[in-house]
Every structure is written in structure tokens, then in C-alpha cells.
Amino acid sequence: MFIPFALLLLVILWPSPEGLENDAQMMFGVLVFAASLFVLQPIPLGLGGMMVLLMPLILGVSTPAKVFSTFGNSAVFFLIGAFVIAAAIEKTSLHKRVSLLFLRISGRSPRMFILATMVTGATLSMIMPEHGVIVLIIPVLMFILVGMGLIGLDSNFARGVMIGAAYGCSIGSIITPLGGARNPLTIAFLDSQGVGISFLEWMIMTGPIAVVSILLVWLTLILVFPPEIGSLEQGQELVRKEVEELEPPTITHSAITVVLLITIVCWMVLPQYFGVNLSVIALIGGIAMVMVGGIKWEDIEGKIPWGIILLYGGAISMGVHLADSGGAEWLADQLLSLTAGSVLVTLVLLVLLTKLLTEVMSNTAAVSILLPIAYGVSIGAGLPPELTCMLVGISGGLAFMFLISTPGNLISYSTGYFGQKDLIKVGFAANLITILVVLVMAYTYWKLLGVW
């Protein structure tokens, strides 16, 4: 706790650089305070979010009305609704049926099985947070691998399956705003600056990036860890038995599935054509899950990670205040001067910075720190804010090298099928590939869409 406060004092007492207003310097103090708090985690992240929320008040930068109104951003309520929906899905066997379906159609090829594992994780991460998805599919994969007699660190195939599961969840989480908290955080920040991104627009921008990334990362995975198994006949037999043993869907399960499908359709259509807020749809979907018996309020109280909600609200507030104080624009000007005004170099640097931060800290926290800077870059370089902010939001979900980078990496590692060295070996290449994919898509596909 000494380090965050020491850094805060150091920044706010430092002689002001030319062109930097006092409020902006105070917010830079909050920024380094938040970054060190999120990296070191001397206290729970939710409590850290509350401290970050209060800092602009303590430093005299803002008023209580403004601080608490930024915390009450609609995206916070979107996240609450999404968590309720995800918790209801978790109580059914829907996730298991989807997982087994993909694994069953993969055939007997070990390489295709790894791809099916990645696609399964990516598909489920479209409708619920990635860390929830990996928890749901790991038991299915463990059942298959143990049934095949694959235990410990001796199998390249098992390495590929478990690392692929984590990577598939990470890549798939960028496809919709439901995949991770950083997605609605990005939407909320853009909305606070008067730029709207709908559910469907997000999917159109990110979908092709995810598809290309999954295919290239899969090829990298099977090249680095070539499967030593020739056929998966035994594994497919296990999957077949698991499918046969599933209980028939109940009326409640069917109702949950219908509510989920209706909610997704509403997310795609209503904001785009009728201006309905995403958060309103998420909350109604969550309430509907309770009404059809999919989940009880007691379950909701236990399933929703309230600490993430508090972190999220504090991060939004900090981002808005950093932008409004002019600090983000000033820092972006310094960044642009370093890159001699080159748009390409600036965007590359922004993506690399996001990747670096998200490898060593919570991706939501990393994105919250960089969004105001990305917005400032867009103003200074004359670029659309949705370009720079979306690059940060997407890159923040693509961390592959370390166990602490994402919950998916850590949870997969806990199975004992791979080590940190294995993750670095394939993760470094996966990072380079996804950086290239994101930047190339931004310069080609996004231009065709008219983003810039």
C-alpha cells in the first residue's frame, strides 16, 4: 500500500510540465495510483476500485455528483444483467451440450479436436464471460484426457487441448460485449464521449478478427506442440457416451435457452433500429431468467462478482475524469510527438502498450487506464475515437504469455497438463500474430466498414 500512495504523491507534487493543467496532473496521480494498485493488488480489486473512485474527490478535481454519476454508468448495469444471464446458463447443461456437440463433430483427428476445443470456448464466450466458460469446459476436457490415459506433462496433445481451450475463450471473448468486462467498459467510455457502438456494430467489427486469430493461433499451437496421437477413436467414444448420458432438457432448461436467444436477438436489433440501451435489455433478460425459474435471487447474490462491478465503476469514473481534465489529450500529444505524428507507429505503440499491461494485470484495469489515452490520441491525430478505443478494448482481451494474464490461462494450468514455459513458448508467437491481425484488420476491413 505504501508504493501506490508514494507514487501518487510523487506525481501530484512534481513540477508541472508545460501545458499540463493542475487538474490533469492530479488525475495522472490517480492514474499511477490505480495502475500500481491493480498490479500489486495489496487489497481486493473491488476495494481498489472504490479508492480510485474517491480519489478525484479527495484531490479536489471533481464533485460528488459527477463522481457518483460516472460510477452509475449504464454499462455497470449491463454487466450485472449479463452476469445474471451467465449464472442461469451455468445452472443448466446448455454449456455442456454445446461443448460436447463441437467436440463430437471434430472427428478422429487430434488436430481438429484441438481446433474444436478452441471454437467451443470461443462460441460460449460470445454469450458469457470467458472466465466462466473455461470453468465450464475444463471438466469435460479433463474427463476425455484422463479417460484416454493422458496424465501430467508428457503429452503434446494434452498441452494443445488445454492451452487451446484457454486461448479459444480469450479470442472468442472479443466477439460480443458479453465476453468480458472490458468490452462494455469500452462501449461505456465511448458513450461518455458521445460515440455510440451498438451490440451488432461491435460484432461486425470484431467477428472477422476473432475468426482469423483462432485459425492462425491454432496452426501455431499444433506446430509448437505437434500431437503425438494418431487417432482419437477412444476419445470420441468417451464423448459419445457422455452425450448419451445427458438427461433430457427440462421445460426450465428450454425456457432459459429461449430467454437467452431472445435477449441476444434484442441486443442485435433494438439498439440499432429503435435506440434501446443495451443495459436495459440485459437487465430485462436477467429478470426474465429469474421469472422462468432459471435462477433464484440467492444464487444471484452468490454468483455475481461484486468486486468486479466496483472495480469497473471506479475505472469508468477515472477514465472520464482523465479525459475531461485534458490529461489524456496532453499525454496523447506527447505520444504523438515521440512517433513523429505517424498514425501507423502510434497505433502500433498503442496496441503494444495494451498488450504489455494486460499481460501483467487485470485486462479490465489495463483497458480502463489506456482508454482515456487512446481517446486523446484520436483527438491529437485527427482519428475517430472508435478506432483507437476499439483497438485498446480488443487488444486487452488477447493476452497469451503468462499464467496471470487471464483467468483462463491460470485455470487451464491448474489441470497440470502444461507449465509456464510452455505458455511462453506458444504465447509469444500468439501475441505477435494477434497484434498483426488486429492492425491489418483495422487498416483494411475497418476502412471498408467506414470506421475511418
Give per-residue pLDDT as tens, 143-197: 788 778 887 788 999 999 999 999 999 999 999 998 888 898 899 889 888 898 9
Average pLDDT over residues 83-91: 80
Supply the pLDDT for residue 99: 66
Residue type, 157: F
- Alpha-carbon distance of 328 to 312, in angstroms, equals 19
pLDDT one-digit tens code per residue, 204-231: 999 999 999 999 999 999 999 999 887 7
Residue type, 264: I
CA 176, 431, 346, 368 torsion-angle sign: positive
Supply the pLDDT for residue 360: 63
Average pLDDT over residues 417-427: 90
pLDDT one-digit tens code per residue, 31-52: 889 888 877 889 887 898 899 9
Query: Helical H runs in 292-404?
Result: 297-303, 306-324, 327-338, 343-360, 363-381, 385-395
Supply the pLDDT for residue 285: 93
| 14 has pLDDT over 80 | yes
Share of the chain above pLDDT 70, in %: 97
Quote the cell numbers at residue 116.
Answer: 474444436
Please report which helix (H) or strand (E) contains residue 22, including its range: helix 22-40
Supply the pLDDT for residue 449: 94
- Alpha-carbon distance of 164 to 202, in angstroms, equals 24
* pLDDT higher at 315 or 110: 110
* pLDDT higher at 353 or 308: 353
**pTM of the predicted structure, to 2 decimals:** 0.78
Average pLDDT over residues 110-135: 87
Q: Using an 8 Å Cβ cutoff, are 435 and 352 in contact?
A: yes
Supply the pLDDT for residue 93: 67
Average pLDDT over residues 408-413: 83
Please tell me the chain's helix, strand, coil percentages from 3-state DSSP, rounded to the nearest 5.
Answer: 75, 0, 25
User: What are the residue boundaries of the structural domains of the chain, listed by start?
Assistant: 2-72+94-246+305-449
Q: Using an 8 Å Cβ cutoff, are 264 and 60 in contact?
A: no
Quote the cell numbers at residue 447.
Answer: 476502412
pLDDT one-digit tens code per residue, 379-388: 888 899 999 9
To the nearest whole number, what is the mean pLDDT of the chain?
87
